[in-house]
Amino acid sequence: MTRVGATLNEQRKRAGLTLRELGARTFVHWTTLHKIETGQRAMTLDVARVCDATLSTNGVLTALVMEGNEMVPEDPSVVRIAPERYFRPHDKITYIAEAERAGRRIDVEHKTVEVSADEAIAERLGILEGDPLTRTSYVIRMNGRVVTTSIAWEPLALTGGTDVERPHDGPYADRGIVPRFDAIGYNPTTVEEVLDVRMPTGDEPRILEISTVQPVIEIKQTFFSQEIPIETADIIFPANRYQLHYKMEIR
């Protein structure tokens, strides 16, 4: 048992909490807490902070983690290189290629439904509020751990009735946005990404399996075919599970 693990065990018991109860309050799985207490896993700074707040320990766990250098990155080898991830040719979705390059097993949950554009999404896509869209939501896990969630919207005025109407059906299923839209004549030419680092809100800690004090990176992404927006998406990463790497051409 490490010093941090012993302190967590002592403070948890002093608060009269079981591992499962502490896990429910901190959004950190109880098995992770057990491994920290028994010295099988190092405590990360975000977990130390949320445990300190929950157990009212006046920052003792945070101090121990920082003093003992027990803070560790979670998945530093998963790298997202933009804009190279969109370069032609490619025959698989970018996040699948990134997982394979990092030697990670990938599991993807996705669901596509038809919706009407709200005011914000309509503005991002240059369409009218109420216009029909496909909305595809994703939860992506690598080696069993959530690395990103996202929601993507595409105008049915462009994709409706074509082979690419639904991103994961038809002959271009799971190929990614560039081959899909190339196939219907709306060749993607530009991608714009706006990044924001913030604290998680709403259900994000539960969905991402992180604590309430672990920062996330949000990317608002829009693809264009010349001047026409063809897809927009909101993408959320836990800040320490995916390395964002940008390589830009200087003109």
For the chain, domains (ranges, CATH) are 3-68 (1.10.260.40), 79-246 (3.40.1410.10)
Give the residue-averaged pLDDT of 65-70: 63
* pLDDT at 108 exceeding the cut of 80: yes
d(CA 117, CA 42): 45
**pLDDT > 70: percent of the chain:** 94
**Mean pLDDT value of segment 126-154:** 95
Model pTM score: 0.73
User: Are 81 and 104 a contacting pair, CB within 8 Å?
Assistant: no
Lowest model confidence (mean pLDDT) among 18-22, 88-92, 162-166: 88-92
Give pLDDT, residue 76: 52
Banded model confidence at residue 208, pLDDT cuts 50, 70, 90: confident
Best CA proximity match to 93, nearest among 29, 168, 27: 168
Q: The tokens of 106 are what?
A: 């990938």
Question: Which pLDDT score, from 0 to 100, does residue 72 have?
Answer: 40
Give the chain's mean pLDDT. Answer: 90
- Digit-coded pLDDT (tens) for 29-47: 999 999 999 988 888 888 8
18-28 mean pLDDT: 93
71-101 pLDDT per residue, tens? 344 455 688 888 888 888 877 889 998 888 8
Mean pLDDT of 177-193: 96
For the ranges 9-23, 183-197, 203-217, the lowest mean pLDDT is seen at 203-217
* Per-residue model confidence (pLDDT) at position 68: 65
Across residues 117-126, what is the average pLDDT? 98
